[in-house]
Amino acid sequence: MRLVMFGPPGAGKGTQAARLSEHFRVPALSTGDILRAAVAEGSALGKQVKSVMESGALVSDELITDVVIARMNAGDCDRGFLLDGFPRTVGQAEALEGLLSAALDGVVSIEVGEEELLARLRGRASEQGRSDDNEETIRSRLSVYKEQTAPLLPFYESRGLLRSIDGTGTPDEVFALILASLKS
Ligand code: ADP
């Protein structure tokens, strides 16, 4: 199973990726988690991306594509993978197509309205203390999503890959909707 998890920040991609990973027994690759781990370690990659991440902007397509290639070559992806947080621009989606020998099985788009997203991201900020979950950065991540990432919707729609899911229910409800959409 080779899936892309798609949606705005706060939609619940990571939560659903973890469940789908267990269900299909394929690894979930979260570019946000990989980059945060690099920043925490203070590696060369971490030093390169720290300030960009804190501003809510995207790191460059070249850099993040190299990170994904390295992760995919780690050896546990031969039965498939779930991508969470990549691709995030049309350039990244084109790079991904070039990397894969066969088409994706689907792109799971989790849809949640803006007010609900803001409430969730503010909640996460106070629970987890993520340094990019402050009010200003939250707003800039949502606008980066609209400008740079939302254009991927028609890109994948035109390839017949898009599965649009109502993301406002409980995690269990959303998970059930995703599984049903993958069967049809
Ligand atoms: P969220 O899902 O809350 O938007 P992520 O954890 O996926 O956040 O990503 C956090 C940050 O890491 C992004 O705001 C961005 O700076 C960087 N990042 C993650 N994935 C990518 C990507 N595919 N392209 C560019 N930057 C990325």
Could you confirm whether 47 is annotated as catalytic?
A: no
> For all residues of the chain together, what is the average pLDDT?
94
Instruction: Kindly give the distance from the C-alpha atom of residue 31 to the centroid of ligand 1, in angstroms, as a whole number.
Output: 6
Count Cβ atoms below 10 Å from residue 98 Cβ, excluding itself: 8
Instruction: Kindly give the distance from the C-alpha atom of residue 87 to the centroid of ligand 1, in angstroms, as a whole number.
Output: 10
Task: Provide the H-helix boundaries in the chain.
Answer: 13-24, 31-41, 44-55, 61-72, 90-99, 114-128, 135-144, 152-157, 171-183
Count Cβ atoms below 10 Å from residue 102 Cβ, excluding itself: 6
d(CA 107, CA 64): 19
Quick check: CB of 138 below 6 Å from ligand 1?
A: no
State the maximum Cα–Cα separation within the chain, in Å, rounded to a whole number.
Answer: 44
Quick check: CB of 163 below 6 Å from ligand 1?
A: no
Q: Which residues pair with 2 in a beta bridge?
A: 81
Overall fold of domain 2-167? Rossmann fold (3.40.50)
**Predicted pLDDT of residue 32:** 95
Could you confirm whether 25 is annotated as catalytic?
A: no
133 pLDDT above the threshold of 90:
no
pLDDT tens-digit series, residues 160-175: 999 999 999 999 999 9
24 pLDDT above the threshold of 80:
yes
Q: What share of the chain is helix, strand, coil (3-state, %, to 5)?
A: 60, 10, 30
Percent of the chain with pLDDT over 90: 85
129 pLDDT above the threshold of 90:
no
Tokens 């039965």 identify what position?
Answer: 79
Instruction: Kindly give the distance from the C-alpha atom of residue 74 to the centroid of ligand 1, in angstroms, as a whole number.
Output: 21
Instruction: Kindly give the distance from the C-alpha atom of residue 15 to the centroid of ligand 1, in angstroms, as a whole number.
Output: 15
Could you confirm whether 141 is annotated as catalytic?
A: yes
Confidence of residue 124 (pLDDT cuts 50, 70, 90): confident
Q: Name the CA radius of gyration of the chain, rounded.
A: 16
Sequence spans of domains, the chain: 2-167
Could you confirm whether 13 is annotated as catalytic?
A: yes
- 124, 139, 159, 183: the catalytic one is 124
Could you confirm whether 130 is annotated as catalytic?
A: yes
